[in-house]
Amino acid sequence: MTSKLPVRANAVTELAKMLVAGGISTDALANAPTIGDIRQLAKRRIPKMAFDFADGGADAENTLRANTGDLAKVTFVPQSLVDVSEQQLKTTVAGEELPLPLMLGPAGSVRIFGGDGELSAVRAAGQAGLTYTISTASSWSIEEIAAEATGPLWFQLYMWRSRDTVRTLVERAAAAGCTALVVTVDVPVNGKRARDHRNGMSIPPKVTLRNAMGVARHPKWFASLMRGPAIGFRNLEGIAEGSSAMSHQEYINTELVNLSATWDDIAWLRSIWTGPLFVKGVMSLSDAHSAAGAGADGVVVSNHGGRQLDGLPSSISVLPRIVDALGDRLSIIFDGGVRSGGDVLKAKALGADAVALGRSWVWGAAAAGGRGVQRVIDIYRSELRESLILLGLDNVENIDRSFVNFPPEWSRPEGSRDLQVR
């Protein structure tokens, strides 16, 4: 009896040749049409503990879901029969012109997702001309990331207990060419991220009984982690005692927990930093007023992607009242739940100057390194252009609230604390 296996194998080979010859792409990344598809590629490429580290939120993840859910409540009001033969997507933030109303926001420990992490991302940002924000908790140092940058750089800073540590990091950021400082104020302690606890996630990642099977199913990911320096917080080398990630984590656990920080610390930062200064994690009018009073040039309206205090409102729902009160005094960047070019336009319509991407570009890095981040940027660029055309606009700077419907209570103060200025 003659086996049919060789015939079948040849048929499969011939079919593959025909598909390629016919121009049908087999590149999953190139064929990913949305950020949601990029997320799915990342989910398949890395083990659950690494994916959940990027994907998860705090506690019951109510705020995480609210960020995306409330953006869906904002609907468009288009205008028709308008000449949109050309589109202008440029915007200006803190005196810097961006080709898109986007920047790559800060994300730490990106090398956990494989490859060279932040280095791939900063290269992709530079190729697109977008600002990249270096995280204090990056897997690579300020200097190592800056060496790969070809576009604008900002630096994200935590309110450390030690002013000497803060001053050192600020001076290094300035020396590396960072043009703006982003001070994160919503992490006096880390929120409880239940997924990470369940998965046994740690920095550096450890193989445990709970996550061993997931690691075994992703040998390429594990091999990429073994290449290069140990995963840790390289910005702390020379600051924290020792050089291991574990000693860095111990330093963070003692020095990052700064329960005595006040707005006076922001005023002090203003005195030692000459460039634009943004306060990230602003979710109330009182905090926005306090940021302005301390000398900040702008705020990032953000609930940390739902990763800190669960039960906060969505970022988009507090954006309008902050814009109404302080949009003429502060640059306002939006962060939270953005998954499409349409979401970017919704934030712009409600008054944001630009949007800082977080999970989106991290999913891209997890899916395919630098190519993944480039694909994420390409998706946003194409969706921005398409949405602008469909709205009947030729310039992203011309969108305003007349082009959207949103819950009216979002533009009203929610309580007496919102009216107080600290």
Question: Which residues fall within 8 angstroms of residue 197, CB to CB, at 6 or more apart?
Answer: none
* Region for residue 109 given its phi and psi (left: phi exceeds 0; alpha: psi -120 to 50; beta: otherwise): left
As a whole number of angstroms, the distance between CA 140 and CA 112 comes to 12
Q: How far apart are CA 132 and CA 126, in angstroms?
A: 8
Q: 157: which strand partners? A: 183
Q: Is 304 an annotated catalytic residue?
A: yes
For the chain, the farthest-separated pair of C-alpha atoms sits apart, in whole angstroms, at: 88
CB 264 within 8 A of CB 283: no
Give which of 349, 300, 321 is closest to 131, Cα–Cα.
Answer: 300
- Taking a C-beta distance cutoff of 8 angstroms, is the pair 151, 102 a contact? no
**Catalytic residue of the set 218, 248, 289, 304:** 304
Tokens of 301: 């309206």
| Phi-psi map region of 329: left, alpha, beta (phi>0 left; psi -120 to 50 alpha) | alpha
Both tokens of 373, joined, read 């981040």
What are the residue numbers of the active site?
304
